[in-house]
């Protein structure tokens, strides 16, 4: 691999990091940059905007317009930096001691930069199979962009054979991960004076009972772990991330919201949890709440339900990954990605990308330059399989 290629990737990464594509902000400036980059190479490009038009997915293709081929996929959004103690400007890439620092260098603009850098070479080849690029929005807050993109690919009758999702894995091949289901459960009670708690419906107290039941279910899930599970931990997990409600210590809380998630190993884990919660709410919480206030209620909003990447016996994406990385085995991880959505859409999927998940979402996020070199070599080898 030439020194010019790694320098090109670094230069592109510096530009990508400078776009502050935090999930609650627009990603359009960065998407426009990547779209122009690929169009200049002769790629066929389309953008798919979200409902308010402030964000977009990018899908591009080099090579023939036919079924099959390989997708290189990554998300454009990054997590916030507020409240984190950074040693440098998070949106100005810094090179130091063989590392590139900046928000998104690891998760996952480093991979996107490698895709764009190697696209120059791919554009010069007589590809027999298509090389696709899928860069999405809002992965960090529910994989909304990828879900929309799968529907758009189906609508356009675009049928890739395999997808390589470049999440940070230290260039190890990952063939499976848990699902990620995210919810907000809202409790509506009846406000009143704190001196008469029986005259109101305390939304916080019912939320507390709900959370206790969630934690009990979390313990039950440990007994449902599949024998020989390769995940760490081997069972599905539940976690409460945020609770908010109430107006003051002497006021019966009229509202409370609980933000929580579960990470099922298998779809039946999710069904078990949802059925148990539905029964608990219907039989125990709601009757007690409505006995005081018929207007009281509980509503769970689905933020996102992204299925895991299931380990399968036959996988074209895994076979390709083994060939282009030299790996002879694949692992599984607990964190979620968009790979399960590709698999659900009938596209064989695998995960392999530069950097460590240990650096993701943290202050002073970085990717090792050697990791980018390894990624560039992998993508160059992929091109040889498409000619």
| One-character DSSP codes across 124-145 | TS--SS-EEEEEES-TTTT-HH
Cα 209 from Cα 289, distance rounded (Å):
12
**Cα angle for residues 382, 385, 387 (degrees, 5° grid):** 120
CB crowding 335-350: b at 16 or more within 10 Å, else e: ebbbbbbbbbbebbbb
Q: E-strand spans in 171-245?
A: 174-177, 180-188, 192-193, 237-245
77 is an active site residue: yes
Cα 107 from Cα 91, distance rounded (Å):
13
107 is an active site residue: no
User: Choosing from 139, 140, 338, 365, which is the catalytic residue?
Assistant: 139
Report long-range pairs for 25-32 (Cβ below 8 Å, ≥24 apart). 26/54, 26/55, 27/55, 27/56, 27/76, 27/77, 27/137, 28/54, 28/55, 28/56, 30/76, 31/56, 31/57, 31/58, 31/76, 31/135, 31/137
User: Choosing from 77, 107, 269, 338, which is the catalytic residue?
Assistant: 77
SS3 272: helix
The residue among 138, 87, 113 whose CA lies nearest residue 17 is 113
Catalytic residues: 77, 139
């Amino acid at each position: 691999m030439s020194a010019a290629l790694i320098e090109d990737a670094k230069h592109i990464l510096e530009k990508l990091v400078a776009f502050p594509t935090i999930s609650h902000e627009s990603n359009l400036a960065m998407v426009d940059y990547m779209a122009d980059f690929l169009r200049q190479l002769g790629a066929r490009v389309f953008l798919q905007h979200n409902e308010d038009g402030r964000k977009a997915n990018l899908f591009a293709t080099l090579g023939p317009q036919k079924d099959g081929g390989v997708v290189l996929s990554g998300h454009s959004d990054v997590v916030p930096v507020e409240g984190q103690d950074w040693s440098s400007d998070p949106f100005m890439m810094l090179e130091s001691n063989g590392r590139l620092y900046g928000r998104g260098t690891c998760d996952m603009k480093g991979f996107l930069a490698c895709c764009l850098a190697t696209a120059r070479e791919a554009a010069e080849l007589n590809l027999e199979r298509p090389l696709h690029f899928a860069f999405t929005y809002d992965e960090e807050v529910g994989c909304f962009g990828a879900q929309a993109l799968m529907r758009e690919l189906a609508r356009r009758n675009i049928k890739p054979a395999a997808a390589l999702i470049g999440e940070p894995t230290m260039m190890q091949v990952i063939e499976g991960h848990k699902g990620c289901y995210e919810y907000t459960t809202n409790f509506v009670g009846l406000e009143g004076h704190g001196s008469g708690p029986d005259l109101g419906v305390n939304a916080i107290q019912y939320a507390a009972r709900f959370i206790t039941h969630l934690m009990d279910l979390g313990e039950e899930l440990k007994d449902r772990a599949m024998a020989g599970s390769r995940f760490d931990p081997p069972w599905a997990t539940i976690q409460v991330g945020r609770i908010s409600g109430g107006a003051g210590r002497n006021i019966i809380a009229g509202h409370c919201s609980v933000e929580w998630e579960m990470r099922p190993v298998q779809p039946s884990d999710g069904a078990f949890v949802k059925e148990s919660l539905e029964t608990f709410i219907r039989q125990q919480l709601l009757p007690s709440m409505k006995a005081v206030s018929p207007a009281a209620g509980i509503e769970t909003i689905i933020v996102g339900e992204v299925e895991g990447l299931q380990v399968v016996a036959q996988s074209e994406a895994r076979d390709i990954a083994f060939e282009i990385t030299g790996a002879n085995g694949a692992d599984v991880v607990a964190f979620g990605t968009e790979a399960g959505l590709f698999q659900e859409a009938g596209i064989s999927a695998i995960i392999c990308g530069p950097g460590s998940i240990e650096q993701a979402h943290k202050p002073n996020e970085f990717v090792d330059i050697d990791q980018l070199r390894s990624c560039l070599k992998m993508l160059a080898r992929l091109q040889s399989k498409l000619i």
